[in-house]
Amino acid sequence: MKKYFRSNVVMAEPMNLGAYNAYRGWKLPENETGKEEGYHLVYADGYESWCPKVAFEKVSREINCMTFGQAVEAAKAGHRITRKGWNGKGMFVVYQKGYPQGIPCNAQTAKAYGYKEGDLFKCRPYLQMRCADGSHQMWLASQSDILEEDWGIVE
């Protein structure tokens, strides 16, 4: 078997195995007590499962206290990310897929790069920030941003 890294957002609540089986309407196997602690999980597509507490807590963090790496994975999955430590209201970062096949240059971009208006302009993926004043800019994380664990998903 190969090893895999997974990153997804789930709803979770503490629930022992016995309670989960009762919730699902399943009979607990005779060789189990049902007392094992764990979590009832509900995924974005509605799929439900149960996960042992140790396994869940090893790989899961609440969405308002993530590391930068977890936040980037969330952004790449389509979520808007933000930090509690930012002092501006309404600020968040999104992942932009870029334009690997290119898009036609507008006049401003053509002038800045010395291209002709309409030439194909190829752009790699990037992070973009919504600033406190409502404007937007390409964004690079500071060392503080990278090392903090107060990242969250904008809901």
Does residue 74 contact residue 61 with C-beta atoms inside 8 Å? Answer: no
3 state DSSP class of 144: helix
- Phi, psi dihedrals of residue 62, rounded to the nearest 5°: -60, 150
pLDDT the model gives residue 5: 66
pTM: predicted TM-score of the whole model, two decimal places = 0.74
In tens digits, the chain (155 residues) has pLDDT values of: 887 767 778 899 999 999 999 999 999 988 999 999 999 999 989 999 999 999 999 888 888 889 999 999 999 999 999 999 998 899 999 999 999 999 999 999 999 999 999 999 999 999 999 999 999 999 999 999 999 999 999 98
pLDDT the model gives residue 9: 82
Distance CA 146, CA 93 (A): 13
Question: What count of residues does the chain have?
Answer: 155
